[in-house]
Amino acid sequence: MAMEYWNVRTGFEDKARELAEAGLSPLLALVMASRGCGSYAEAQELLRDDLGLLNDPFLMADMDKAVARIRRAIENKEHVAVFGDYDVDGLTATATVADYLRRRGLECDVKIPERLTEGYGLSNEAVTDIASRGVTLIVTVDCGVTAVEHVALGRSLGVDFVITDHHKCSDTLPEACAVVDPLRPDCAYPFKGLAGVGVAFKLICALEGPDKLEQVVRDYVELVALGTIADIMPVTGENRALIRHGIMIYRNGGGRTGILALMNKLGVQPLHTSDVDISFTIIPKLNAAGRMGRVEDAFALLMAEDPAAAAELAETLCDLNTQRRAVEDRIFAEALSRLPDIVTTPIVLADENWHHGVSGIVASRLMERFGVPAVVICIEDGIGRGSCRSWDGFPIYDALSSMSDRLISFGGHAFAAGVNLYAEEIDGFRDALTEYYTKHVSEIKPRLLPIDAELRDLGMLTLKNIEELFTLAPWGNGNQPPMLCLKDARVDQMLSIGGDKHVKMRVSRRDGNVECIFFSKRLAELELREGSLSCLAFEPSINDFHGTRTVQLLLRDAVQSGEDEHIRYYLCSSFLGGKEISDEERALLCPSRDDLTRLWRVLAARRPEINGSRTHVLNMLTEAAEIDEPCRTYISLQVFRELRLISLSERRGLFNIRIPPATTKVELSDSNILRRLSFPEAVKA
């Protein structure tokens, strides 16, 4: 994973004490104060999960028109169809509306396009086929808001449309009977973060009326929770209530036959279901069907009523996921074989034998490993279909927009996008993306690891305190799992587990000891050794092993804390991440012109490349350039990087510095980093 800067929040300690004195557990008070909670009353409001959080569905634009058209279809016993999407949000939305319409006595067809052969959204072929079967109304879910051409075709064939979607609208809406989307510019619905299945759920709430809300929740909130979590929608407000009520369906002994069969196959205990079980155990199996071209199996599981058939479908989905994982691992390994150990520019790889269903996952893994944008392209019949992944410091969608003339089409979000292009354009696309990235490299923000607080008392990590902390769950977008850091913890034990795929540790301080686990990290990749002092970034968790519950830290980062190196590095990263620092800290970080000059001479003499651990490289350069503080050396390197005098890559605690053979003359005054350090008020102005 690319090196991340720690961004530890501070300055809320007094508020945390007040919240604890008011009745919150110390750990919960610490995290809620860190996240801006100002009072006990505000804390109670943030912890709400009751149905009173659900807004009136008729606040959505066109909801009244959608209800009127669907009620007419029900009264006239029309032949209708639901058109959805192949991801879990689309699947659950399709199941929700199709189940409801069939319960109301309608003949209801379902169309979910195949990811590999048909792609996302309505198509003229699909609309024509549906119309030929005598369908008079198509209800779209999780798609349709930009399908102007396809809706026009359907209308010409005698088909009406009710569009329900949650994606961004274009300037022109389809001429449907109703277009229900909270992101419509003229929509007054106050909560904009609903998933596609959330919008579908609100449609049914409107159809049934407020008196039947609790029944609608019992019937469909399980599906809403699955789709909302899968689509990484904000876990706040209305979504928080829907997810928690969905999870409680299982904990109270309910649940759809198909999902319960899948849980049984996977060893998930329904009575102890959590959002983590849904995110990392259930959803990947549902997604695997779409990725492997078998989306109908996932839909059948959601709709299953017979336990035996559901068990068979659950077995099929698990087999498909095993196949998906094998294909993903093969492509990832092939991709790695084509790349050097250190990569400093965007990755663009293509192959005719790669599977498009897993290209997004592989691109994400490459981006995480090398810390640069990644595009994985699958070529078929001369056309490349690519999945692009980046992070919040480099919007990949903007880069694609700048080179749209090279592309057949592209779309998506700022940091996850898809692209279609001719195979002969791939090399030119790679060059254009590299040029764009290099041009904007000084604007790229470092990846920040947000840490809620430093844990100063290890004794706060009790089972009771962590259980109360979990009342903040479910975790997700807008409500991330609590992340804490612990300084100067001695490493008492380190073990490689899971075939050297993970690391298990025990650390201690004077105020206690605790078990840790670092998933997807090999022992050799850590700079720590038994007996060394460490600084840890972690999520508090509870390990339940055969009924024995113990505190366990889920590590996100672990570095040595010798000679306050980590504290200095944290100060540098906080400043580079935009955090305000004191005058004393600014003086500590700010290099002099002589510091910069001497360091540049050292770098120039060591062209073209310097590699090694962060600690070794910084100490070596600091000594050679006769700079007083390693943190000034680090800041100086960032200045040179900003001015494009060097390229600097940080990954897994390793430094790679590349110095070109010749550089153009630059002015140090052009460095925003130096301006912020020397004249912060002028920069603010």
- Cα separation, 373 vs 368, in Å, equals 9
What is the predicted pLDDT for the residue at 587? 86
With cut-offs at 50, 70 and 90, classify the pLDDT of residue 652: low
Mean pLDDT of all residues belonging to the chain: 89
Contacts with 577 (C-beta within 8 Å, 6 or more apart), sequence order: 5, 7, 445, 446, 448
Handedness of CA 168, 171, 173, 174 (dihedral sign): negative
With cut-offs at 50, 70 and 90, classify the pLDDT of residue 683: very low
> Is residue 170 scored above 70 in pLDDT?
yes
- Per residue, the 3-state secondary structure of 251-299, as one string, reads HCCCCCHHHHHHHHHHCCCHHHCCHHHHHHHHHHHHHHHHHCCCHHHHH
Residues 351-387: tens digit of each pLDDT: 999 988 899 999 999 988 887 899 999 998 899 999 9
Contacts with 18 (C-beta within 8 Å, 6 or more apart), sequence order: 33
- Cα separation, 19 vs 15, in Å, equals 6
**Cα dihedral: 435, 439, 443, 445 (round 10):** 30
Mean pLDDT of 503-517: 93
With cut-offs at 50, 70 and 90, classify the pLDDT of residue 328: very high
User: 531 to each of 26, 527, 528, 536, how far by Cα in Å?
Assistant: 30, 12, 9, 15
Residues 589-612: tens digit of each pLDDT: 899 989 999 999 888 888 788 887
Residues 421-474: tens digit of each pLDDT: 999 999 999 999 999 988 886 666 666 788 999 999 999 999 999 999 999 989
What percentage of the chain carries pLDDT values higher than 70? 95
Q: What's the topology of domain 53-215?
A: inorganic pyrophosphatase (n-terminal core) (3.90.1640)
Classify domain 13-47+450-560 at the CATH class level.
mainly beta
- Cα separation, 606 vs 637, in Å, equals 14
What is the predicted pLDDT for the residue at 568? 65
> Is residue 685 scored above 50 in pLDDT?
no
> Is residue 569 scored above 50 in pLDDT?
yes
Tokens at 82, concatenated: 């639901």
Beta bridge partners of 518: 503
With cut-offs at 50, 70 and 90, classify the pLDDT of residue 581: confident
Position with higher pLDDT, 62 vs 413: 62
Domain ranges for the chain, please list them. Answer: 13-47+450-560, 53-215, 341-443, 580-684
What is the predicted pLDDT for the residue at 562? 53
What is the predicted pLDDT for the residue at 188? 95
Task: Return the CATH architecture of domain 341-443.
Answer: Roll (3.10)
What is the predicted pLDDT for the residue at 664? 67
What is the predicted pLDDT for the residue at 682? 40
Residues 246-303: tens digit of each pLDDT: 999 999 999 999 999 999 999 999 988 988 899 989 999 999 998 888 999 999 999 9
Which residue intervals of 160-232 are DSSP H helices? 196-208, 213-230
Task: Return the CATH architecture of domain 580-684.
Answer: Orthogonal Bundle (1.10)
pTM here is 0.77
Identical fold between 13-47+450-560 and 580-684? no
With cut-offs at 50, 70 and 90, classify the pLDDT of residue 185: very high
Parallel/antiparallel/unpaired status of strands 484-497 and 453-454: parallel
Mean pLDDT of 514-518: 95
With cut-offs at 50, 70 and 90, classify the pLDDT of residue 684: very low
Element (H, E) at 137: strand 137-141
